[in-house]
Structures are given as structure tokens and as C-alpha cells.
């Protein structure tokens, strides 16, 4: 490599000067660098350069594609499982196995799990740790101090935020192609729903145990609007997730209530609140519609499933 | 010494009932959103489906009714208990009946039984209340001094609250742990007419059993022996009152959670007005308890929407200093 560079700098033919100045000349740069050498050397040098490049290429791409990725939060689990090659994942969080909240629970079953503990992470020897915006800060600063690279992902509340997360994850994993494909598929499904919007958007509200609802800047709000519903919580000025008073709910007169059961089958006062008879009466006897939590507890391409289900539940 | 107020029984009952009626109406007016109550009543009576009518009949009315019967139950049971045990500090909250009822209800609610069988909830409350009351009674002994009774109550209360916390931590629902405070402080928000119907049978049965005990309690003020020679069977009276309290308090607490101090404070406030006569105190305490809980619930609702203050916090804020005052007063007499 050194000898080769020295050779190019010593004698340079006139015919190649144009190529050095600009892009006008027909001769390409490597040919010109080799031009000053003896003809039988030229071929050798060209081959040497080619082999060197070939040797370098896998080295470069390997450093861009991590092979031991550990995720410690549910939402990074989802994106990792969607985008990574099977040999890239070293561990996912235990939350990824829970079928009510994890969209990728089935695929997650084949990977070792972690409980987001520093000791576990160190023994895994990961070359990349994925965490969410809300992961334990002390844990993250600890593993960072120990020299492990950590990437933190925000929780998106819009389609754009989901796209950004997918692209960023794909880039980190060296799987840009898969990332683009995933975004494209999601966009296609959303566009198909967007083409069949109702003339009058019916009034809907998302109602959760303890009277929580999803206002502006939530995925539920984004999905309701994309599917063709009005989100009353956002219209009432609620930001994020907040409890709505039941009288305020009734006065808003929703035509349909949606809920996402977080722990189906279990009982509590909070969950009993969803059974209040007034909720059924105000929607003219329509039952509350359940949309699985796994579609929007984390931002991901599965939001399209929720949007499609919401769209299908529009009144005829 | 002359009584502080010269009122006949009828005047007292009438006056208290009037206050109760006013508070009940007032509580229907107060909610998180101003609605036209006149229109709501008209719509509800004419059976026109409107949202305001729904808010009145499905949200505000059950809440006020639950406050009314729960307050009345606690006041009545406090008066009966103080009469039976001839102990000024006896009350469902301090003797453990309330926390026992909460424990029984927690067992039923969070482990799925009450979802298939709604009446399992008050049944659990009744069994819990009866068990806790009997346990305290046995621990303290029949002629227990005030202090022994309170200490036994403290022990059983602590035990029941610890078990409630344990069960709620073990419950499958992810929302259970946050509801510990609901069972310890009590709340009557967000209930429906169905909840009221569930609690009503046990409460009415309990009230009915307590209704006829006035004369026996009057006789008991003269001492157990005198009462027995007058022809009153004390074991029978004891069982009757314990079962009645378990029925009424157990049913009420299984819906509201344990609301403190109403059973203690109300009989004390009203006792001078009925010339310290237990038979007259029963009805007055029932109405007084309903007044106190309704007033506390109105105060809770006046806080800005979103601040979910449990009604039991308020009754305890009023009741705890009063409890301290009673302890200091009783100590002065004993020493």
C-alpha cells in the first residue's frame, strides 16, 4: 500500500493531469495512478487494489452491522425482532414474551431473555444495547461507564415518529433494506385505509381502566384519526394519557367507545369501571370494542393492524 | 345539669331529616359538570333518553344513595355497638368490623368470584366483618375495659390491613396494588346503580335486625345483671347485634371500602341531644351518619376535577382529632 502510493506520487503522465484537476477526462483515477508504472506492473497493481478493496469490504460492513445486540425494553424488542437477522440478536427483554403486550411474542420465544439487570447485560457481552427513552437511567449510565454502547429510542406518537424509529433501528443494525420495506408496507396499508374515509366522521373515545383516555400526542389518537374517527378526548383538549371524568365523557356523547385490555381476565375496581351501564347507554347500546394492546403499546408497523380494525368498526 | 338543647325526639328526628334531605338534593346538583337538574329530572321522569337524565340517574343518584345508606349504616352500627359494649370508643372502624369487611370483599373481588356471582362481594364483606368483630370480642373478653378493646381492635385492624395489602400485591390484576388506598380510605366515586342494588339487601336486613334492639340497650345501661333480671337475654342480644352489624357494615364496606370514624363520631355528637338514651340514639345516629358522609362527599366533589380525593380521607381528617379528644377525656375520668 505504501509502495503503491509512493509510486503514484513520483511520476505522473501528462495525459492524466485532466483527471486530477476535474472530472472532464475519460480516464478514471486509479488507472491514472497506475499509469506511471511499468506496463506489467500496471496489471498487478490493478489486481492488488481490487483484492484489497475486496478484503476491506467485509471488514467495513461488519463494523456497521452489530452481531450481538441486546434489547432491554419492550418497544426496542419489537423493532429488533422485526428488523434484525437471526444471528444479530443476543437477548431480548422478558416483556417481549408477554402475548398481550408484545406483538412479536411468538418470534421472541426463540431468543434468550434478560430482565434489564447490569450483571446480565455484562455477561452477554453485547456490542449494542437498545433501550427506550424511559428505561432505567442509572442502569444505562452504569453500562455506558463499563464501555457498552447504548442506543435509546423515543416512544413515538405519530406515523412519522414510527418511521423515524424504524429507519434508525434499521441503520443501526445494518438492515436498511428491510427497514425501507417495512415502512413501505405500513404506508401502503395506511394509504389504503385513507382512501376509504367516511363522509361524516363518527365520534369515538378511547376508555381504559380507571377512566384513562388517550388525547392528543398518543398513538391511539393518530390511529383513530387515520381510520376515520373523531377522537373526542383530543377535542376536549386532553394531552397524552389522562383520566376523563365520566360525566364529561357522557356529555361529549361518543358514538363508540374503544378499549385495549391490558390484563384480560383479571378483576379490579379500575377494570370494573368499564362495565358502568351508562357507558353502554350513551353509545345507544353499542358494546365497547376491544383492540389488542400489542398494536399500539409500542410504535411500530403493527399500528396498521389497529388502524384497519378501527376502520372496520366504523358504522355502515 | 340541664341538657344543652331542649328538643323532643320528634323535633330532633325532623330537623335531622330536613338537613339530610337538603344535603341529598344538593349532592345531586354537584358534579364535575354543570347540568340543568330541572331538565334532567323532567327527562328522567318522562323517560326521554337524554345525556343529562343519564348523568342524573346513572352517575349522581347512585353516588348519593350509596353515601346515604353507607353513612346511615356506619352511624347506626356505631351507636348500637357503643350501647352493647357500653364503651364510648366502640365503633365498626375501631373494632375491626370495617377492615374485616374490606378484607372479605378483596378476597372475592380480585380473585374472580364476584365477576361470576355478584352477591359474592357483599357475602365476603359480611363474613369478614363478622369474623373480625367476633375475634376482637373474644380477644378483649366480655367485660373489657376501653383500652383493652381498642388494643384488640388495633391488632385485628393491623392484621386485616396487612392481609389486604398482601392479597392486592398477589392479585393477578395489574391495577390491584394501586387500589390498596381505596380499601383503606374508602371511596364512593364511580359507582353504578348495580352496585347500590348489590349492597342494599344486606344493609336493609341489618337495619331491620337493629331496629328492635333499642329497649334492650336502654336496659343494658343499668348493668348486665339488671338487664337480665328485667327479662332481656344478653347472649341473644349480643349475637343479634353482631350479626346485624356484620350484615350492614359488611355489605356497605364491600362496595365503598372502609370509611373511617363516622361510626365513632356521630353517636357522640348526638348523644347529649337524646338525653343519653341508646334507643333514641339509634335512629338519630343513622340520620346523622348519612348527613356526615353526604357532606364529606359533597366536599370531595367540590375539589377541582381530576383530583381524586377519597371521601374516607376527609372523614378521617375530621374523625381522628375527635378520637384523640375522646381518649384524653376518658383518661381524665379514669385517672
In SS3 terms, B229-271 reads as HCCCCHHHHHHHHHHHHHHHHHHHHHHHCCCCCHHHHHHHHHH
Question: Which of left, alpha, beta for A197 (phi over 0: left; psi -120 to 50: alpha)?
Answer: beta
**Local confidence band at B40 (pLDDT 50, 70, 90 cut-offs):** confident
Q: Per the structure block, which three cell numbers stand in for B213? A: 334492639
Residues A227 and A300 in one domain: yes
Average pLDDT over residues A172-194: 95
Domain residues for the domain of A141 are: 69-191
Residues A51 and A85 in one domain: no
Name B288's bridge partners.
Answer: none
pLDDT digits (tens, 9 = 90+) for B70-115: 999 999 999 999 999 888 888 998 889 999 999 999 999 999 888 8
Which residue bears the cell 345531586?
B28
Which pLDDT belongs to residue B44? Answer: 84
CB A131 within 8 A of CB A76: yes
Q: Which of A278, A282, A293 to probe the B interface (max B CBs under 10 A)? A: A278
What is the full DSSP assignment across A134-156? TS-HHHHHHHHHTT--EEEE---
Element housing A231 (H / E): strand A230-231
Residue B334 burial (CB < 10 Å; 0-12/13-18/19+)? exposed
CATH architecture label of B21-28+35-334:
Orthogonal Bundle (1.10)
Q: In this structure, what is the dihedral angle of CA atoms A34, A38, A40, A44, given to the nearest 10 degrees?
A: -30
Element housing A128 (H / E): strand A128-132
Residues A255 and A229 in one domain: yes
Average pLDDT value for chain B: 89
A278 touches chain B (CB under 8 A): yes
Residues A139 and A243 in one domain: no
Residue B258, C-beta contacts closer than 8 angstroms, at least 6 positions apart: B93, B98, B99, B101, B102, B183, B184, B185, B186, B312
Average pLDDT over residues B31-52: 83
pLDDT at B5 over 70: no
pLDDT digits (tens, 9 = 90+) for B152-206: 999 999 999 999 999 999 999 989 998 998 998 898 988 999 999 999 999 999 9
Question: Cβ contacts (< 8 Å) between B37 and chain A: which residues?
Answer: none
Q: Per the structure block, which three cell numbers stand in for A126? A: 453485547
Q: Per the structure block, which three cell numbers stand in for B266? A: 356521630
CB B179 within 8 A of CB B121: no
**Local confidence band at A264 (pLDDT 50, 70, 90 cut-offs):** confident
B121 touches chain A (CB under 8 A): no
Radius of gyration of chain A (CA): 28
Q: Which of A98, A211, A242, A276 to probe the B interface (max B CBs under 10 A)? A: A276
Residue A237: count of CB within 10 angstroms of its CB: 8
Cα dihedral sign, A104-A106-A107-A108: positive
Which pLDDT belongs to residue A32? Answer: 42
Q: Pick from A38, A64, A90: which residue ends a domain?
A: A64
Tally of domains in chain A: 3
Residues A210 and A293 in one domain: yes
Residues A81 and A52 in one domain: no
pLDDT at B244 over 90: yes
Which pLDDT belongs to residue A15? Answer: 38
Which pLDDT belongs to residue B305? Answer: 61
Report how far apart, in Å, the C-alpha atoms of B135 and of each of A235, B239, B262 are.
Answer: 55, 13, 22
pLDDT digits (tens, 9 = 90+) for B111-135: 988 888 889 999 999 999 999 999 9
Residues A58 and A73 in one domain: no
pLDDT digits (tens, 9 = 90+) for B263-274: 999 999 999 889
Residues A15 and A47 in one domain: yes
Which pLDDT belongs to residue B6? Answer: 59
Question: Cβ contacts (< 8 Å) between B49 and chain A: which residues?
Answer: 281
Report how far apart, in Å, the C-alpha atoms of A19 and of each of A10, A275, B182, B197 are.
Answer: 17, 78, 81, 93
Element housing A123 (H / E): helix A118-124
- A257 or A60: whose pLDDT is higher? A257
Which pLDDT belongs to residue A39? Answer: 63
pLDDT at B31 over 90: no
| CA–CA gap between residue B78 and residue B89 (Å, rounded) | 9
Domain range list for chain B: 21-28+35-334
Q: With a CB-CB cutoff of 8 Å, which residues 158-217 of chain A face chain B?
A: 209-211
Residues A34 and A92 in one domain: no
Which pLDDT belongs to residue A203? Answer: 96
Nearest by CB: B54 against A210, A270, A281: A281
Residues A117 and A175 in one domain: yes
User: Which residue in A255, A291, A293, A287 sits closest to A274, CA to CA?
Assistant: A287
CATH code where residue A91 lies: 3.40.50.1980
User: Which residue in B54, B56, B53, B69 sits closest to B27, CA to CA?
Assistant: B56
B110 and A248 within 8 Å at the Cβ level: the answer is no
**Local confidence band at A37 (pLDDT 50, 70, 90 cut-offs):** low
B174 and A278 within 8 Å at the Cβ level: the answer is no
Nearest by CB: B172 against A245, A263, A278: A263
**Local confidence band at A17 (pLDDT 50, 70, 90 cut-offs):** very low
- A16 or B172: whose pLDDT is higher? B172
pLDDT digits (tens, 9 = 90+) for A197-212: 999 999 999 999 999 9
| CA–CA gap between residue B200 and residue B250 (Å, rounded) | 11
CB A219 within 8 A of CB A242: no
pLDDT at A55 over 60: no
Which pLDDT belongs to residue B4? Answer: 53
Amino acid at each position: 500500500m505504501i509502495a503503491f502510493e509512493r509510486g503514484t506520487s513520483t511520476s505522473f503522465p501528462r495525459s492524466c493531469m485532466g483527471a486530477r484537476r476535474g472530472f472532464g477526462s475519460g480516464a478514471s483515477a486509479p488507472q491514472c495512478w497506475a499509469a506511471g508504472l511499468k506496463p506489467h506492473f500496471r496489471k498487478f497493481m490493478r489486481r492488488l487494489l481490487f483484492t484489497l478493496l475486496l478484503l476491506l469490504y467485509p471488514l467495513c460492513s461488519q463494523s456497521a452491522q452489530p452481531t450481538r445486540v441486546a434489547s432491554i425494553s419492550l418497544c426496542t424488542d419489537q423493532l429488533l425482532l422485526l428488523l434484525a437477522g437471526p444471528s444479530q440478536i443476543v437477548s431480548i427483554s422478558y416483556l417481549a414474551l408477554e402475548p398481550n403486550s408484545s406483538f412479536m411474542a411468538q418470534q421472541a420465544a426463540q431468543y434468550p431473555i434478560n430482565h434489564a439487570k447490569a450483571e446480565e447485560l455484562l455477561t452477554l457481552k453485547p456490542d449494542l444495547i437498545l433501550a427506550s427513552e424511559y428505561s432505567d437511567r442509572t442502569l444505562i449510565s452504569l453500562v455506558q461507564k463499563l464501555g457498552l454502547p447504548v442506543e435509546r429510542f423515543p416512544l413515538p406518537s405519530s406515523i412519522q415518529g414510527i418511521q423515524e424509529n424504524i429507519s434508525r433501528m434499521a441503520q443501526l443494525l445494518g438492515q436498511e433494506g428491510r427497514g425501507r420495506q417495512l415502512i413501505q408496507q405500513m404506508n401502503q396499508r395506511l394509504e389504503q385505509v385513507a382512501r376509504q374515509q367516511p363522509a361524516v366522521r363518527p365520534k369515538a373515545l378511547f376508555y381504559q381502566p380507571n377512566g384513562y383516555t388517550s388525547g392528543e400526542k398518543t398513538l391511539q389518537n393518530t390511529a383513530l384519526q387515520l381510520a376515520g374517527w373523531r377522537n373526542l378526548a383530543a377535542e376536549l383538549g386532553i394531552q397524552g394519557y389522562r383520566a376523563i371524568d365520566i360525566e364529561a365523557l357522557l356529555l361529549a356523547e361518543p358514538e363508540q367507545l374503544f378499549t385495549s385490555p391490558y390484563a384480560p381476565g383479571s378483576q379490579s375496581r379500575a377494570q370494573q369501571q368499564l362495565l358502568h351501564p351508562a357507558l353502554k347507554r350513551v353509545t345507544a347500546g353499542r358494546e365497547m370494542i376491544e383492540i389488542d394492546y400489542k398494536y399500539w403499546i409500542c410504535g411500530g408497523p403493527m399500528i396498521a393492524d389497529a388502524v384497519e380494525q378501527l376502520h372496520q368498526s366504523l358504522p355502515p | 345539669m340541664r341538657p344543652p338543647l331542649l328538643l323532643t325526639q320528634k323535633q330532633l328526628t325532623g330537623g335531622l331529616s330536613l338537613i339530610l334531605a337538603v344535603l341529598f338534593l344538593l349532592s345531586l346538583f354537584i358534579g364535575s359538570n354543570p347540568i340543568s337538574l330541572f331538565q334532567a329530572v323532567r327527562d328522567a321522569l318522562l323517560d326521554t333518553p337524554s345525556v343529562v337524565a343519564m348523568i342524573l340517574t346513572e352517575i349522581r343518584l347512585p353516588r348519593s344513595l350509596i353515601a346515604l345508606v353507607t353513612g346511615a349504616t356506619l352511624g347506626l352500627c356505631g351507636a348500637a355497638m357503643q350501647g352493647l359494649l357500653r364503651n364510648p370508643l366502640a365503633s365498626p372502624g375501631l373494632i375491626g368490623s370495617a377492615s374485616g369487611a374490606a378484607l372479605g370483599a378483596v378476597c372475592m373481588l380480585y380473585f374472580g368470584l364476584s365477576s361470576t356471582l355478584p352477591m359474592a362481594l357483599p357475602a365476603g364483606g359480611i363474613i369478614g366483618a363478622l369474623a373480625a368483630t367476633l375475634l376482637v370480642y373474644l380477644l378483649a373478653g366480655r367485660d373489657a375495659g376501653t383500652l383493652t378493646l381498642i388494643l384488640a381492635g388495633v391488632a385485628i385492624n393491623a392484621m386485616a390491613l396487612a392481609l389486604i395489602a398482601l392479597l392486592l400485591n398477589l392479585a393477578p390484576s395489574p391495577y390491584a396494588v394501586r387500589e390498596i388506598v381505596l380499601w383503606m380510605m374508602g371511596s364512593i366515586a364511580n359507582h353504578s346503580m348495580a352496585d347500590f342494588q348489590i349492597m342494599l339487601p344486606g344493609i336493609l336486613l341489618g337495619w331491620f335486625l337493629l331496629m328492635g334492639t333499642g329497649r334492650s340497650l336502654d336496659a343494658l345501661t343499668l348493668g348486665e345483671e339488671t338487664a337480665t333480671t328485667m327479662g332481656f337475654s344478653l347472649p341473644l342480644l349480643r349475637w343479634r347485634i353482631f350479626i346485624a352489624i356484620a350484615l350492614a357494615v359488611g355489605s356497605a364496606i364491600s362496595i365503598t371500602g372502609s370509611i373511617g370514624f363516622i361510626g365513632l363520631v356521630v353517636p357522640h355528637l348526638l348523644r347529649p341531644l337524646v338525653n343519653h338514651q341508646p334507643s333514641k340514639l339509634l335512629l338519630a345516629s343513622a340520620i346523622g351518619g348519612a348527613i356526615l358522609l353526604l357532606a364529606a362527599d359533597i366536599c370531595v366533589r367540590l375539589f377541582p376535577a381530576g383530583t381524586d380525593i377519597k371521601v374516607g380521607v376527609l372523614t378521617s381528617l375530621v374523625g381522628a382529632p375527635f378520637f384523640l379528644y375522646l381518649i384524653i377525656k376518658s383518661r381524665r375520668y379514669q385517672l
